[in-house]
């Protein structure tokens, strides 16, 4: 029997009334279904002589209530069982910290949380929205550019990308056309379907479509092969994805870049298109504003503008530090050395180049070799050190120590070299030369907690200097760990106990520990709301034993020490890059490269200006006696974000100085008053000693 379908136009009020009625009917239908399931389960359970068959399963909702579902029900069916409105808005299932496509079955007894379009700030909800947006981008590109080959398109922080092999190069101006095509797809609407197929069938499919990158992915895939289809576009993908495109309310392409296939510089370079998507247009607008502010604060741009450093392809990933940049560097180094001395650290200096034997003993040869710069010499191979810890342990192991020497705290800020891929380099935040404020604490089992407390207190003190608030993350054993589970149980518990006894809130990051031990990573949020990893505190029971670190205990027996690795700035390069963007180049007075600039009005005022500069010592003072106009020299000081500018003319004297502060405030102060003001801003330079109080 055929039924003719006709399009009927109804008033909006009548449509809403019909929808409400249908919602009620749908909810009643699901309630009846759940009741029948419970009755069926009860009959199966209570029938004499029959074993219960799991026709019904339970899942646990976020409020602790249990939801009965037919065995094998999907996340979408769970949402429908709760209510049709939830099902309409659902985008993703989260269970035990993992995300799952709504189309996939749930398991009996598992806790679930159904994320919806209302979870617009949830990272997992945004990730699935952006993942589906990447597929819309691939569909549009394939339609607009016949012959293009598609590679991969994952969600990333703040957006997504998709890599393509175009028959002809594309340019930034082409993004507008591609974005318009995606928006046309959104206006049409798209729904995603998911299918699982055999690997051989997937291979045949993508070979027939002349998609070599997809064929390679099929050949290296583990587990089931799944395909997602929207419109006339099918992609190899593990998911998860949206049910349809309705939640994507805002879409924007943001840039182009080159990227080697699978991150290997020996492979073909593809074209990477970046984009982002949000649940609301307001969220996209706010994101674009942050991007513009981030562009203004980009440390690579400010580094040149403020004459701090520059980068050059003559030595990729290795900054050239200018005198003003070295002022910041040396100020941080002064803090490091002074605080290390106060806290019982001793400075050491170890070689830059080691035989591979050391790296084999430490475990880095197996786990980290691809990131080392190797130096072959005859039948031996050396490496420039990418980290300090094996060298510090070799130093400790050069003699048998006594328990009375422990804890022994070695500190060294040596240049380290890591062979980062060229495409991964980014200003000061991803470099090949890394200078860590490194330290390694050799201690007994009983001393671990106090030493971790000391590191946490030290970190708090340092971050307070910059008015940064640290957040803590506990990273546990990775898949490639060294040592036994029992050893890791102890070291993980020790770090966790230290955090909890200090009443520090932390997030668990399973599987992200170093291969030799768990770690506490310290993160901060900058002025733009971006999260950065700063320092790290790691507990190691593996390398000391492998390298042969030993001490004689009070029991006259030899023991292996534990080693706490800690770097609190992280690396000086990265820390300066982050600070530059956090402050927008307007550094706090005590680390500003130039703290005061004096602008003599005329040639006759130059001598007095230089005399004033000398009397403002030990502060960092410059005199701008160039031939530029006074207004231009004042403007230059503003552009260079100098904290104070003193304009010195006929009216100025020790009793009255014309002072302009960064930001525009102007005042008149005597020299004595001005020196007193500067003294409160720069305690390091006037002899005040920092407190050890956490």
User: What separation, in Å, do the N-terminal and C-terminal C-alpha atoms of the chain show?
Assistant: 81
Contacts of 85 (CB under 8 A, 6+ apart): 23
Catalytic, out of 101, 438, 521, 624: 438
* Residue 163: both structure tokens together: 């890599």
Catalytic, out of 37, 237, 389, 549: 389
Contacts of 391 (CB under 8 A, 6+ apart): 350, 351, 354, 358, 385
Instruction: Clarify whether 369 is annotated catalytic.
Output: no
Instruction: Clarify whether 436 is annotated catalytic.
Output: yes
Please tell me whether the peptide bond between 407 and the residue prior to it is cis, using omega within 30 degrees of 0: yes
* Residue 216: both structure tokens together: 């390679």
Strands 155-156 and 250-260 come out as unpaired
Alpha-carbon gap, residue 94 to 559, rounded angstroms:
46
Supply the DSSP symbol for 353. E
Catalytic, out of 103, 130, 205, 565: 565
The helix/strand/coil state of 387 is coil
Q: Residue count of the chain, please give it.
A: 694
Instruction: Clarify whether 299 is annotated catalytic.
Output: no
What is the three-state SS of 116-158? ECCCCCCHHHHHHHHHHHHHHHHHHHHHHCCCCEECCCCEECC
Determine contact, residues 270/258, Cβ cutoff 8 Å. yes
Instruction: Clarify whether 519 is annotated catalytic.
Output: yes
Alpha-carbon gap, residue 405 to 656, rounded angstroms:
58
> Would you tell me the crossing angle of helices 199-208 and 212-220 to the nearest 10 degrees?
170
Beta bridge partners of 58: 68
Helix (H) or strand (E) holding 286: helix 281-297
Catalytic, out of 385, 440, 481, 633: 440
Alpha-carbon gap, residue 164 to 146, rounded angstroms:
12
What is the rounded (10 degree) CA torsion for 413, 419, 421, 425? 20
Catalytic, out of 131, 361, 418, 633: 418
Closest by CA position to 153, among listed 97, 217, 199, 203: 217
* Residue 143: both structure tokens together: 């339609």
Query: Starting from the edge strand earliest in sequence, which strands make up the sheet with 408-412, in order?
Result: 346-347, 408-412, 438-443, 562-567, 531-540, 519-525, 470-475, 506-509
Beta bridge partners of 645: 597, 660
Alpha-carbon gap, residue 535 to 530, rounded angstroms:
16
Catalytic, out of 103, 519, 597, 633: 519
Helix (H) or strand (E) holding 367: helix 364-368
Alpha-carbon gap, residue 460 to 465, rounded angstroms:
9
Instruction: Clarify whether 418 is annotated catalytic.
Output: yes
Supply the DSSP symbol for 517. B
Show which residues are catalytic. 389, 418, 436, 438, 440, 519, 565
């Amino acid at each position: 029997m055929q039924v003719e379908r006709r399009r009927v136009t109804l008033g909006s009020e009548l449509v809403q009334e019909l929808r409400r009625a249908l919602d009620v009917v749908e909810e009643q239908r699901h309630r009846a279904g759940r009741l029948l399931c419970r009755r069926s389960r009860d009959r199966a359970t209570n029938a004499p002589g029959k074993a219960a068959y799991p026709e019904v399963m339970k899942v646990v909702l976020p409020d602790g209530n249990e939801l009965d579902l037919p065995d094998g029900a999907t996340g979408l069916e769970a949402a429908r069982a709760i209510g049709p409105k939830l099902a309409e808005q659902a985008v993703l299932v989260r269970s035990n910290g993992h995300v799952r496509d709504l189309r996939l079955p749930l398991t009996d007894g598992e806790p679930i949380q159904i994320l919806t379009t209302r979870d617009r700030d949830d990272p997992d909800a945004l990730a699935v929205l952006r993942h589906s947006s990447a597929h819309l981008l691939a569909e549009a590109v394939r339609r607009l550019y016949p012959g293009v080959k598609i590679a991969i398109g994952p969600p990333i922080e703040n957006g997504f990308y998709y890599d393509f092999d175009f028959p002809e190069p594309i340019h930034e101006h082409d993004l507008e056309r591609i974005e318009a095509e995606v928006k046309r797809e959104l206006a049409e609407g798209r729904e995603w379907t998911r299918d699982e197929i055999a690997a051989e069938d997937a291979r045949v499919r993508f070979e027939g479509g002349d998609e070599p990158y997809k064929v390679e992915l099929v050949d290296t895939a583990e587990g089931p092969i799944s395909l997602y289809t929207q419109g006339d576009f099918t992609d190899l993908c593990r998911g998860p994805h949206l049910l349809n495109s309705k939640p994507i309310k805002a879409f924007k392409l943001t840039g182009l870049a080159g990227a080697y296939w699978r991150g290997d510089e020996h492979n073909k370079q593809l074209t990477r298109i970046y984009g982002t998507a949000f649940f609301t247009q307001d969220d996209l607008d706010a994101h674009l504003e942050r991007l513009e502010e981030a562009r203004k604060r980009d440390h690579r741009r400010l580094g040149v503008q403020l004459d701090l450093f520059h980068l050059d392809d003559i030595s990729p990933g290795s900054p050239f530090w200018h005198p003003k940049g070295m002022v910041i560097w040396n100020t941080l180094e002064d803090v490091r050395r002074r605080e290390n001395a106060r806290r019982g650290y001793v400075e050491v200096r170890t070689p830059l180049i080691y035989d591979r034997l050391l790296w084999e003993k430490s475990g880095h040869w197996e786990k980290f070799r691809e990131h080392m710069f190797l130096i072959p010499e005859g039948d031996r191979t050396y490496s420039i050190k990418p980290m300090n810890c094996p060298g510090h342990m070799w130093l400790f192991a050069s003699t048998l120590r006594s328990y009375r020497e422990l804890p022994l705290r070695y500190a060294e800020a040596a240049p380290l070299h890591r062979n980062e891929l060229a495409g991964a380099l980014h200003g000061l935040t991803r470099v090949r030369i890394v200078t860590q404020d490194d330290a390694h604490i050799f201690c007994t089992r009983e001393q671990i907690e106090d030493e971790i407390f000391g590191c946490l207190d030290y970190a708090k003190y340092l971050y307070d200097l910059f008015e940064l608030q640290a957040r803590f993350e506990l990273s546990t054993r990775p898949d490639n760990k060294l040592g036994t589970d029992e050893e890791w149980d102890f070291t993980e518990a020790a770090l966790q106990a230290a955090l909890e006894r200090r009443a520090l809130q932390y997030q668990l990051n399973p599987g992200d520990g170093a291969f030799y031990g768990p770690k506490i990573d310290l993160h901060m949020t900058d002025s733009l709301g971006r999260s950065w990893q700063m320092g790290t505190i790691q507990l190691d029971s593996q390398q000391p034993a492998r390298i042969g670190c030993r001490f004689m205990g009070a029991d006259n027996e030899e023991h292996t020490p534990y080693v706490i690795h800690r770097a609190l700035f992280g690396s000086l390069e990265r820390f300066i890059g982050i600070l530059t963007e956090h402050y927008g180049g307007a550094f706090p007075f005590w680390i500003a490269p130039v703290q005061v600039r004096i602008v003599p009005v005329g040639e006759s005022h130059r001598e007095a200006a230089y005399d004033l500069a000398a009397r403002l010592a030990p502060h960092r003072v410059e005199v701008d006696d160039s031939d530029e106009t006074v207004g231009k020299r004042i403007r230059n000081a503003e552009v260079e974000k100098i904290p104070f500018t003193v304009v010195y003319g006929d009216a100025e004297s020790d009793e009255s100085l014309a002072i302009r502060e960064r930001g525009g405030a102007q005042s008149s102060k005597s020299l004595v008053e001005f020196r007193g003001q500067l003294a409160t801003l720069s305690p390091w330079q006037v002899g005040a000693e920092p407190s050890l109080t956490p």
